[in-house]
């Protein structure tokens, strides 16, 4: 997708603060963090969301398996972290390229109580 910002980041056409990269995935710090550690994990291939038929189980499995490794690397595994996948309009998705938010470093105000 030529106008997709995360595709441009994946192709190194736009800079990012990368924390992990392999042939298929890239993880980088969110430009507007909502927690002390806020990293986005994306597939390099354009997949618009979890609802995209390109969001195959095999790819999602490999992507999810990276999360605990990244959490260890980022130093947030011991105390725990939150994994968020905003999906679609009501889900609050603003960038239409599948991404996992990995959030750690403080207790967020959700869920309440
Ligand atoms: P969402 O609202 O779930 O679609 O999340 C999109 C996220 O992408 C937001 O948290 C933004 O702060 C983040 N974001 C947008 N542009 C960039 C960028 N160029 N570099 C890093 N993070 C970005």
Q: What is the DSSP string of 73-99?
A: HHT-TTT-EEEE---TTTTT--S-S--
* Position 106 confidence tier, pLDDT thresholds 50, 70, 90: confident
Ligand 1 neighbours, Cβ below 6 Å, are: 5, 16, 30-32, 40, 86, 92-95
Q: What is the pTM of this model?
A: 0.96
Q: Cα of 77 to ligand 1 centre, how many Å?
A: 22
Domains and CATH numbers, the chain: 5-104 (3.30.428.10)
Residue 113: both structure tokens together: 């109580």
pLDDT, tens digit, 9 for 90 and up, residues 48-80: 999 999 999 999 999 999 999 999 999 999 999
Average pLDDT of the residues of the chain:
94
pLDDT, tens digit, 9 for 90 and up, residues 73-85: 999 999 999 999 9
- Residues 38, 46, 97, 99: which is the catalytic one? 99
Q: Is residue 97 among the annotated active site residues?
A: no
CB atoms inside a 10 Å sphere around CB 15:
9
Q: Cα of 30 to ligand 1 centre, how many Å?
A: 6
Q: Whose CA is nearest to atom 19 of ligand 1?
A: 31
């Amino acid at each position: 997708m030529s106008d997709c910002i995360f595709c441009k980041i994946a192709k190194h056409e736009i800079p990012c603060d990368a924390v992990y990269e392999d042939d298929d995935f890239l993880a980088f710090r969110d430009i507007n963090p909502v927690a002390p550690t806020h990293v986005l994990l994306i597939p390099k291939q354009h997949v618009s969301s979890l609802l995209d038929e390109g969001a195959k189980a095999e790819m999602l499995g490999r992507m999810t398996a990276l999360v605990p490794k990244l959490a260890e690397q980022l130093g947030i595994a011991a105390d725990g972290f939150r994994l968020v996948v905003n999906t679609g309009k009501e889900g609050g998705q603003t960038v239409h390229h599948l991404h996992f938010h990995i959030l750690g470093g403080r207790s967020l105000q959700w869920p309440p109580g």
